Amino acid sequence: MRTKYLVTFLLVLALAFTEFAVLRRVDIRVAGSAGGPGGVAATEEQIPAYDVTALKSPKGKYLGVTVAGGAEMGRVRAFAGETGKTPNLVAVFESFDDKFAASEVRELHNYGALAVIRWEPYDVPLRDIAAGKHDAYVKEFAAAVRTLNLPIALTFAHEMNGHWYSWGTKQTTAAEYVAAWRHLHDIFTQQGATNVIWTWTPNVVNYLRKVSIRALYPGDAYVDWVGMDGYYTNRGPKTFQDLFVPTITQIRTFTRRPLLIVETGAEPSSRRPGQITDLLTNVARRRDFLGVAYFNINGSGKWNIDRDDAALRAFRRSAAKDTFGFDIRTVK
């Protein structure tokens, strides 16, 4: 009799344990569904990293902007109102010791724009990054990118072929640059932060003919997009052909990765409206270009077009093409 009761008790206990396990799995699944892309409630196993594949080669073109104050949304919206086109690519500048700008990236994503993180290693020798001396910080940054789980484009140590930054040619060798880039990429991969579009971005080569950008290229396994920074200045090249094509020609000797103008602008002059038309027309027609971001900040060259009616009209007219602009949230 005692044995019968014992067996019954054990059966009831087993059933109770099974029901608890099922309910526990349901609780975890519900908690995970509350997170989704950009959430942190679920584990990486339950929510895969945001798939950036479609954003790497979208059907439309990116039309972006850099505004004063980083991703200050009031200025981003003002630019959209003035140009008649909602930017879907916005630059966010971060120093190498900054925490990941998660709130800015989230706000831009909710606006329909991809954040381009311009990660700047001021006063940090790239050889130290490559040697792992900053791994704790990099892992924390990469983990934050993965936790947010929204897409970003990442440019690290841009314009590295110039001499004006601490990571440029005066203080850093090409081998050190490549080693640092690859080391960062490897850590992001280890942290599961595959929601990143790695965007290698040299300066246009016009004034830097003696520097080999090929030697600075980390390799296709470490780069998704090839960016360029270059400006229409009153003393420099006056056309897209003269400003960007020499750099494109060099790039095409070592990679076929798609191209993006990450930073550009035109100085005030009677030529500026024509230069803006030249810029947007060429980006729109070229199949190897993903898009362009305009540097709409006063700066050293008074690049902003807000107070230049003729330049603004030229921008509105050229940007009105259906080719430009799409909501990144709709790209699958």
pLDDT at 282: 98
- Banded pLDDT at 155 (limits 50, 70, 90): very high
pLDDT digits (tens, 9 = 90+) for 55-70: 999 999 999 999 998 8
pLDDT digits (tens, 9 = 90+) for 212-224: 999 999 999 999 9
Residues pairing with 118 in the sheet: 93, 155
* Mean pLDDT (whole number) for 115-137: 98
Tell me: pLDDT of 294 over 90: yes
- Banded pLDDT at 96 (limits 50, 70, 90): very high
* Mean pLDDT (whole number) for 294-299: 93
Tell me: pLDDT of 142 over 90: yes
Least confident of 19-23, 99-103, 326-330: 19-23
pLDDT digits (tens, 9 = 90+) for 20-56: 343 333 333 333 333 334 434 344 455 999 999 999 9
The proportion of the chain whose per-residue pLDDT surpasses 90, expressed as a percent, equals: 82
* Mean pLDDT (whole number) for 111-130: 98
- Which of 262, 174, 188, 263 shows the shortest CA–CA distance to 219? 174
pLDDT at 40: 40
53-330 adopts what CATH topology? TIM Barrel (3.20.20)
* Mean pLDDT (whole number) for 159-176: 97
Query: What is the reported pTM?
Result: 0.86
Which residue would you say has higher pLDDT here, 16 or 184? Answer: 184
Q: Are 256 and 223 in contact (CB under 8 A)?
A: no
